[in-house]
């Protein structure tokens, strides 16, 4: 499926901050905005359609297979009264199962991706990527899943 039209901007905030911030709080981390339609003469969708079909088949086989679950790991933590440290930390996990997997949609647009420099979340350094970049095209995956009961791994 080819998805046309303007996609809403997407942003991700995180709890954190920089050393020069007065306090920690919700801080923008990633912003994604839609750019122009990719030149259809490049026929990039003809190159990506087979990949999308293969990926869709792989996901459908997994979702309907004998063990259609995956495990997701979480870091659970609470902020200490000093506003800097965590007073309680746990590593937990939960299994989830996909209930519904509609077809992938191909996004024939460029997207502007901006990653903010946030001291508490050094994504730029850890990923070794540029703070701003353009991505040409992509996929939209929508799924409906059930998250199981979480269990504590540590401590």
The conformation of residue 155, written as its DSSP 8-state character, comes to: -
Q: What is the pLDDT of residue 44?
A: 57
Residue 43 has pLDDT above 90, yes or no: no
Token output for 109: 């647009």
Q: What is the pLDDT of residue 27?
A: 85
Distance CA 103, CA 107 (A): 13
| Residues contacting residue 104 through CB under 8 Å, at least 6 positions apart | 1, 52, 55, 56, 139, 140, 141
pLDDT grade for 120, boundaries at 50, 70 and 90: confident
Nearest to 123 by CA among 6, 12, 2: 12
**Is the pTM above the cut of 0.75?**
no
Nearest to 131 by CA among 119, 117, 118, 120: 117
Q: What is the pLDDT of residue 134?
A: 93
**In whole numbers, what is the pLDDT of the chain averaged over residues?**
81
- Please say whether the beta carbons of 25 and 15 come within 8 A: yes
Residue 9 has pLDDT above 60, yes or no: yes
106-134 burial string, b = 16+ CB within 10 Å, else e? bbbbbbebebbebeebebeeeeeeeeeee
């Amino acid at each position: 499926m080819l998805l046309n039209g303007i996609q809403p901007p997407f942003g991700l905030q995180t709890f954190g901050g920089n050393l020069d911030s007065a306090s920690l709080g919700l801080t923008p981390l990633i912003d994604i905005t839609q750019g122009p339609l990719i030149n259809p003469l490049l026929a990039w969708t003809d190159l990506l359609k087979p990949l999308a079909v293969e990926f869709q088949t792989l996901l459908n086989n997994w979702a309907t297979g004998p063990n259609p679950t995956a495990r997701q790991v979480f870091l659970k933590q609470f902020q200490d009264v000093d506003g800097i440290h965590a007073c309680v930390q746990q590593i937990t996990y939960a299994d989830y199962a996909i209930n519904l997997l509609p077809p992938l949609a191909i996004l024939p647009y460029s997207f502007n991706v901006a990653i903010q420099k946030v001291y508490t979340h050094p994504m730029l350094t850890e990923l070794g990527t540029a703070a701003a970049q353009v991505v040409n095209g992509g996929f939209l995956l929508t799924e409906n899943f059930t998250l199981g009961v979480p269990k504590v791994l540590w401590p």
